[in-house]
Structure 1
Amino acid sequence: MAGLAASGSNPDVGLLYDINGLAKDAPHWLDRIVGFVGEFGLLAAMGLLLLWCWWGVRRRAGSGEEAASAVAALVWAPLAAAVAVLVNVPIRGFVERPRPFLDHDGLEVLVSGKTDFSFVSDHATLTMAMGVALFVANRRFGLVGIGLGLLEGFCRVYMGVHYPTDVVGGFALGTAVALLLSPIASMLLTPLVAAVERSPRVGGLVRGRAARTAAHDAVLPGARTEAPSEERDLAA
């Protein structure tokens, strides 16, 4: 892989220089913003997006089973990201691809101190795994999450710390883990989340008070209408 990267005719390297070249032409303040966003900001935004989706789910959830299933799908999103990064550890050690700025001169590197291997990108893997898992749970929020993942991949190349194929590999790895393990995760997580939902102390993490009250009120009218009918039967 490193040999391919060193080839001047490699389109991966050409695209790297094209995208990273934007950093050379951009103002210094913009490069600093992109460097921060690409290193920390988009990961934080993905976390906030996940919390926003969870807040809406717990408020609008209907039955306890529905709430448990929906929240379990959201819990899988950060777990999918963690699993994908763990899978990436042996991949990086096997490929051993150096960072692009070690093999190519003239790159504008916006973040220093990167000494680990380049393929595949952890940031691209993390964000895409969360975005795809979020899409499985909620399409509207998931599309935003996938958009953040794509933006993360662009930023990593712009910053000069990854080749485009590092990013594409991260997208593929994150997507594969999020989708392939989703059925197993749902089977394992849903009963656990359902147990939390039934707890009087922490059940609000799964279903909000308003949703619980609405479900409780929906049951009570039926109980009140059944009682007079039983009394009429006894009277007859």
Structure 2
Amino acid sequence: MAGVESTGSNPDVSLLYDINGLAEDAPHWFDRAMEWIGEYGIMAAMALLMVWCWWSVRKREDAPSAVAGLVWAPLAAGIALLVNIPIRGFVERPRPFVDHKGLEVLVAGKADFSFVSDHSTLAMAIGVGMFVANRKFGLAGIGLALLEGFCRVYMGVHYPTDVVGGFALGTAVALLLAPAAMALLTPLARAVADSRRAGRFVQAPEALRSAKARESGPEAEAGTGIGAEAGTRTETAPAPGQPGSDKDLAA
């Protein structure tokens, strides 16, 4: 492995060299693929996963609350990145290739501080935010976030603890602020769902009709009950010779 002699007794640095050392032994095309995946690919996959999740949850009767959770995912990621700005300025940890030689750095030009990883923070906040909306898609998003963290260390631009710190920050923001965010976003999503033009962006028309039918079920049943039958009953004139006929009245 490249630079193993420089790791000392620090497990963070040792793990950095172990993971990044895979890049030295890998084919050139694989390193280029990992570079693109770590910089752009996983973020693009996250965006596609969110679109897929939105298309799926809007068909549910509780779509407004699920869509509200999905909207919260990128908002949580943005807030987490803002929180990371003072953290980076306070810690001021240099990039690993600044203090440790022999690393295979796949992305050049990284001159800012290392702790915590923006990519890991962003990916995990989106993944956990999606988990609030839908567990299946959320688990897939969390899996992509873990892969993002591995790629950042593989590329030689972050320590493993930078990645772990990003995971913790993204998770904390997405979960701790979720109750307040959902309390604000869910009524807004329901209001949009009830509108004619934008409603389909929150809830599919068939799901909206089904939900309204279920809500108005008792009233509909009452409207078609005994009272409704009495209101639509037609009376027939009695036949001659039967009680209530004109002849009986004349007599």
- TM-score, length-normalised on structure 2? 0.84
Answer yes or no: is the 8 Å Cα contact 2:58–2:64 preserved in 1: no
d(CA) in 1 for partners of 2:171, 2:213: 41
72, 77, 100: which one aligns with 2:73: 77
Larger helix proportion of the pair: 1
Distance apart, 1:221 and its partner CA: 10
- C-alpha spacing 1:30/1:132, structure 2 compared with 1 (3 Å): same
Aligned residue in 1 for 2:3:
none
d(CA) in 2 for partners of 1:129, 1:216: 33
Letter in 2 for 1:223: A
d(CA) in 2 for partners of 1:224, 1:75: 37
2:152 equivalent to 1:152: no
Which deviates more, 212-221 or 29-38? 212-221
Letter in 2 for 1:147: G
d(CA) in 1 for partners of 2:92, 2:80: 18
Aligned residue in 1 for 2:132:
136
Distance apart, 1:98 and its partner CA: 0.6
Aligned residue in 2 for 1:166:
162
Aligned residue in 2 for 1:3:
none
Aligned residue in 1 for 2:193:
197
Answer yes or no: is the 8 Å Cα contact 2:73–2:129 preserved in 1: yes
Letter in 2 for 1:101: F
- Which SS does the other structure have where 2:44 is aligned? helix
Aligned residue in 2 for 1:223:
220
- Which SS does the other structure have where 1:118 is aligned? coil
Distance apart, 1:101 and its partner CA: 0.8
2:10 equivalent to 1:10: yes
Distance apart, 1:112 and its partner CA: 1.1
Gaps of 5+ in 1: 1-5
- C-alpha spacing 1:132/1:231, structure 2 compared with 1 (3 Å): closer
Which deviates more, 20-29 or 132-141? 132-141
Aligned residue in 2 for 1:181:
177
Give structure 1 regions of 4+ aligned residues with deviation exceeding 3 angstroms. Answer: 213-225, 231-236
- C-alpha spacing 1:184/1:222, structure 2 compared with 1 (3 Å): closer
2:83 equivalent to 1:87: yes
Aligned residue in 2 for 1:33:
33
Distance apart, 1:213 and its partner CA: 3.6
107, 111, 115: which one aligns with 2:111: 115
Distance apart, 1:220 and its partner CA: 8.1
Letter in 2 for 1:40: Y
- Whose relative contact order is higher, 1 or 2, with alpha carbons under 8 Å and at least 6 apart? 1
Gaps of 5+ in 2: 1-5, 236-251
Answer yes or no: is the 8 Å Cα contact 2:7–2:14 preserved in 1: no
Distance apart, 1:205 and its partner CA: 0.7
| Superposition CA RMSD, Å | 2.1
2:55 equivalent to 1:55: yes
Letter in 2 for 1:226: G
